[in-house]
């Protein structure tokens, strides 16, 4: 075993990750050694060999059932490799443990964060629905389901769930904001959208995404100066790609094209594949090359 590990390390020094992976995975399979399994998982991930990474991570988890890193790796790799039924089964077991420990809220927040990483919106929703079907009346479950429906394109279902949620829990700032923002983004029911976002802001006045929504609803209402004021505040607190898309569009409509491009650049540098930012600059016929390069001081 020692010779195999030394041979693997020599292979790594030579840049032969695949060879080292095979050896570490073999050692882990034969010995259930935690260190070898963890090392094999890391090497497999480095070369994007997800099936080998899953094999290694399962050995790692079996050998050290208390290691949350192993459990998280297995769940993520089930998701990546499309083994949805295995992921659902594992999450249902974890859900029952969380119920007994009275930690369901954090459990569902973690499940939502996990499935939201899936490239398949329908698959993400399916997994969450299967795991949460006993807890559909819980606020965190309702909110996550609404957002997953929105991502899938089921905007009517998202709205139905959010309306039920704010009726059940009128102080749910994120639900109020999501409902108001979705209306503002669709450019419909703007007066109701404004009231919803205003209510969300009262419950969470420092939340940059709610501040962003307030700027966006002012933009939809044609009040560009107020929109700029709110979006500048949101961007100063959290200069992410989505807020930069909104802030830049307002500046663009104020005939401050160069300022808009600088704001978009900052968002693009952080998240070049952000769909909202890319859609914004494409719609305004700004060539993507203008967003590349350094931001001017």
Q: What is the 3-state secondary structure (H, E, C) of 222-257?
A: CCHHHHHHHHHHHHHHCCCHHHHHHHHHHHHHCCCH
> Are 85 and 54 spatial neighbours (Cβ–Cβ below 8 Å)?
no
Q: What is the pTM of this model?
A: 0.87
**Token couple for 271:** 């998240």
- Domain span including residue 52: 1-66
Question: Average pLDDT, stretch 271-276?
Answer: 93
Residue 169: exposed, middle, or buried by beta-carbon count in 10 A (0-12, 13-18, 19+)?
A: middle
| The pLDDT of residue 291 is above 70 | yes
- The pLDDT score that the predictor gives to residue 235 is 98
Q: Find the range with the poorest average confidence among 17-31, 118-132, 184-198, 201-215.
A: 17-31
pLDDT at 18: 84
In a domain, 22, yes or no: yes
The whole-number average pLDDT for the span 247-255 is: 98
54 and 87 inside one domain: no
Name the token pair of 184.
Answer: 């503002």
105 part of a folded domain: yes
Do 155 and 89 have their domain in common? yes
The answer as to whether 31 is a domain residue is: yes
Does residue 204 fall inside a structural domain? Answer: no
User: Which residues are CB-neighbours of 139 under 8 A, at least 6 positions away?
Assistant: 165, 168, 169, 172, 175
52 and 107 assigned to the same domain: no
Half-sphere exposure of 128 (CA within 13 A, CB side): 30
pLDDT band at 23; cut points 50, 70, 90: confident
- pLDDT at residue 162, rounded to an integer: 98
In a domain, 177, yes or no: no
The pLDDT value given to residue 2: 52
- Nearest of 207, 208, 206, 285 to residue 241 by alpha carbon: 208
Q: Pick the range with the lowest mean pLDDT from 9-23, 76-90, 198-212, 249-263.
A: 9-23
Q: Do residue 48 and residue 101 come from a single domain?
A: no
Q: Are residues 57 and 94 in the same domain?
A: no
* Angstrom distance (rounded) from CA 282 to CA 56: 43
Percent of the chain with pLDDT over 70: 93
Share of the chain above pLDDT 90, in %: 87
Asked whether residue 41 falls in the same domain as residue 119, the answer is: no
Residue 244's nearest CA partner among 222, 223, 226, 259 is 259
Tell me: do 101 and 164 sit in the same domain.
yes
Q: Among 19, 41, 66, which residue terminates a domain?
A: 66
Reading the block at residue 268, the tokens are 């693009």
Confidence of residue 19 (pLDDT cuts 50, 70, 90): confident
Kindly state whether residues 115 and 41 are assigned to the same domain.
Answer: no
pLDDT at 253 over 80: yes
Whether 245 maps to a domain, the answer reads no
Question: Domain ends where: 168, 187, 209?
Answer: 168
Co-location of 162 and 136 in the same domain: yes
Whether 102 and 111 have beta carbons less than 8 Å apart is answered as no
- Rounded to whole angstroms, the Cα distance separating 87 from 114 reads 11
Instruction: Work out the mean pLDDT of the chain and round it to a whole number.
Output: 93
In a domain, 281, yes or no: no
pLDDT score recorded for residue 216: 98
Task: Give the three-class secondary structure for 1.
Answer: coil
The better pLDDT of the pair 9, 99 is held by 99
**Angle at 79 (CA atoms; ends 26, 102), nearest 5 degrees:** 105
Domain boundary among 134, 168, 202: 168
Number of structural domains found in the chain: 2
13 pLDDT higher than 70: no
33 and 90 inside one domain:
no
Confidence of residue 297 (pLDDT cuts 50, 70, 90): very low
Query: CATH no. for residue 10?
Result: 1.25.40
Number of other residues whose CB lies within 10 A of the CB of residue 7: 13
Query: Same domain, yes or no, for 111 and 138?
Result: yes
Tell me whether residue 227 is in a domain.
no
Residue 218 in tokens: 């002012």
Q: CB–CB of 193/217 below 8 Å?
A: yes
């Amino acid at each position: 075993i020692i010779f195999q590990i030394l041979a693997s390390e020599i292979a790594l020094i030579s840049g032969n990750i695949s060879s080292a992976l095979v050896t570490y995975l073999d050692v882990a399979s034969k010995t259930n050694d935690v260190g070898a399994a963890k090392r094999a998982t890391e090497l497999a991930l480095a070369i994007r060999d997800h099936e080998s990474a899953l094999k290694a991570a399962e050995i790692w988890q079996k050998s050290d059932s208390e290691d949350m890193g192993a459990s998280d790796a297995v769940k993520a790799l089930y998701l990546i490799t499309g083994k949805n039924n295995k992921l659902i089964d594992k999450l249902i077991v974890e859900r029952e443990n969380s119920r007994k420990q009275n930690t369901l809220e954090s459990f569902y927040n973690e499940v939502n964060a996990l499935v939201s990483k899936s490239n398949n919106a329908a698959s993400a929703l399916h997994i969450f629905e299967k795991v949460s079907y006993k807890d559909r009346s819980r606020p965190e479950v309702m909110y996550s389901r609404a957002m997953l429906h929105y991502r899938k394109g089921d905007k009517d279902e998202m709205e139905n769930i959010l309306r039920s949620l704010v009726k059940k829990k009128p102080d749910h700032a994120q639900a109020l904001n999501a409902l108001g923002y979705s209306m503002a983004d669709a450019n419909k029911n703007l007066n109701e959208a404004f009231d919803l976002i205003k209510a969300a802001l009262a419950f969470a006045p420092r939340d940059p995404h709610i501040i962003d929504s307030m700027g966006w609803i002012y933009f939809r209402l044609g009040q560009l100066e107020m929109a700029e004021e709110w979006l500048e505040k949101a961007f100063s607190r959290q200069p992410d790609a989505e807020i930069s898309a909104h802030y830049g569009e307002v500046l663009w409509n104020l005939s401050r094209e160069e300022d808009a491009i600088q704001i978009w650049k900052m968002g693009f540098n952080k998240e070049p594949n952000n769909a909202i930012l890319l859609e914004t600059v494409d719609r305004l016929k700004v060539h993507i090359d203008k967003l590349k390069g350094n931001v001017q001081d």
